[in-house]
Amino acid sequence: MSFHFNSFSPTEGQGKKWPVTVRKAKQLGYTEPDPRDDLSGLDVTRKRTILGRLAGSCTECQVEINSLTIFRNLTSKWKQHKAAAEKEGKCVHFVGSIDMASREVKVGIESFEKTHPIAALQGGDNVISFYTKRYGDNPLIVQGAGAGGDMGVSSDLLKVLSHIAW
């Protein structure tokens, strides 16, 4: 999803058309075998739920998914959404989040200030931000490859978490 939004909704200038980014991401091996798993938000939801469970808080999480597939005409809807964000000086990305305290997993589109770490992503890179009591409003950032088999930063985080004795 990061590749799609980095291509479709870059921080500056015009992006590529949505169908073009989906085909390119599939060719590069960045999508699930069926890209609808990505566009529906199911893949992001699945990964966030696994991370929440491994962290010990989301054994039974409430899940909210704002799927991209709800839009019949993705390109025109996204142009409108992107234009509204740009008018506010923001960029648009598809993200997943886990609120450990409320045990909620949320997946969908959010607008970000252009100074936010997610706005600086390029290609298939991804970012995980940890907002905790320790990090407060200045989160710990883990950034790296976000797609393509075992290259994903989520996959790496899962490997690390599997070796930690909680």
Q: Of 47, 82, 90, 106, which one is the catalytic site residue?
A: 47
Each as own residue / partner, the long-range contacts of residues 71-74 (CB below 8 Å, 24 or more positions apart, any chain) are 74/18
45, 63, 114 from 10: Cα distances, Å: 24, 28, 10
Q: Is 47 a catalytic residue?
A: yes
Q: Reduce the DSSP state of residue 51 to 3 states and report it.
A: helix
* Separation between Cα atoms, residue 68 and residue 78, nearest integer Å: 9
Q: Reduce the DSSP state of residue 111 to 3 states and report it.
A: strand
* Separation between Cα atoms, residue 36 and residue 45, nearest integer Å: 13
Tokens of 77: 């809807």
DSSP-assigned letters across all residues of 151-165: G-HHHHHHHHHHT--
* Separation between Cα atoms, residue 133 and residue 66, nearest integer Å: 28
Instruction: Please identify every residue annotated as catalytic.
Output: 47
